[in-house]
Amino acid sequence: GDSVTQMEGPVTLSEEAFLTINCTYTATGYPSLFWYVQYPGEGLQLLLKATKADDKGSNKGFEATYRKETTSFHLEKGSVQVSDSAVYFCALGGDYKLSFGAGTTVTVRA
Amino acid sequence: DTAVSQTPKYLVTQMGNDKSIKCEQNLGHDTMYWYKQDSKKFLKIMFSYNNKELIINETVPNRFSPKSPDKAHLNLHINSLELGDSAVYFCASSQVGQAEQYFGPGTRLTVT
């Protein structure tokens, strides 16, 4: 079945550092791919998405490119801020459900 | 306006009790979901409803019974609560044909 493997955390960074969170997937067909973010004590927010191969999703300085050849959707941000501290989830869109990775906790220190 | 809302936000109850969580969306979506997030933050689908009909029941114990009175609402009733039911429950919705889902703020259920 569909599955997502996500880089395990926790990840601790200094402000203005570069962030990468690796995500790979297994799926039949060509699913849509997502990154969701969960800030402390809050629900999940859609951060960005890509619906087909070579699409690049971007939002709030974050980017991820749908790579069919490596079945990957890695999340990157060039310069993180303290406000980016959160749990990040990679997800794959299937029939009437999302399959999530295990989540990566990111802490950014001032 | 809140797109997907859930009540209550926190629910503390004792083992053996029956409780309900309500979910409403004002996005005009046809499909609604319940997810469970465990203590390690892992998220797993429980149910999917499309146009008030059950589409997915992901091997959830039958103590959990979703009910969709209309397309905008999907409630979750849990009978005979157990310690292992303690988790955060998220409601979500999406438009038919779209994989993108919008989530509610979650309900933290604690069973003592």
Distance between CA A3 and CA A101 in Å, rounded? 8
| B3-45 pLDDT per residue, tens | 999 999 999 999 999 999 999 999 999 999 999 999 999 999 9
Using alpha carbons, select from A1, A13, A2 the residue that is nearest to residue A104: A13
Q: What is the pLDDT of residue B1?
A: 65
CB contact residues (below 8 A), chain B span 11-40, against chain A: 31, 33, 35, 40
| A4-40 pLDDT per residue, tens | 999 888 999 999 999 999 999 999 888 999 999 999 9
Of A46, A96, A103, the CB nearest to B100: A46
Residues of chain B positioned with their CB less than 8 A from the CB of A103: 41-43
Q: What is the pLDDT of residue B58?
A: 85
Give B24's strand partners: B5, B73
Average pLDDT over residues A51-68: 96
Residue A70 has pLDDT above 80, yes or no: yes
CB contact under 8 A, A105 and B41: yes
Q: What is the pLDDT of residue A13?
A: 97
Q: What is the pLDDT of residue B84?
A: 95
Q: What is the pLDDT of residue B97?
A: 80
Looking at residue B5, its amino acid is: S
Using alpha carbons, select from A19, A20, A24, A10 the residue that is nearest to residue A91: A24
